[in-house]
Amino acid sequence: MKGKLLVGFVTIGNMFYSKVLTTGQMFVIPQGLVHFRKNVGEGKALAFTTFNSHMPGAVVLPFALFASTPPIPNGVLT
C-alpha cells in the first residue's frame, strides 16, 4: 500500500469501524461486510485487494449505510 487511504466497514450489528492507513500498513475486512476505501492523501494511492472466497455473504445495505454507530462520514457516502 502506498499513499494515504481512509478505509472502513460496517458490521452486521451496524457498528462502523474505520482507520486512516499510510504506506506499508494493512487492513482486514471481514467477509461479506459493507466496506469502502477513499484516498485522503494529496497524491495518488495504491492498494492491493484479495478475496478468500467466491461466496462473499450478504448484508442489508440501508441499515449498514445509514444506521451505523458511529455514522459513516458524509464524504464517504457521496
Q: End-to-end CA distance of the chain, in Å? A: 24
Report CA torsion sign: 44, 8, 69, 77: positive
Q: Is 35 annotated as a binding residue?
A: yes
Can you say which residues are annotated as belonging to the binding site for Mn(2+)? 35
Can you say which residues are annotated as belonging to the binding site? 35
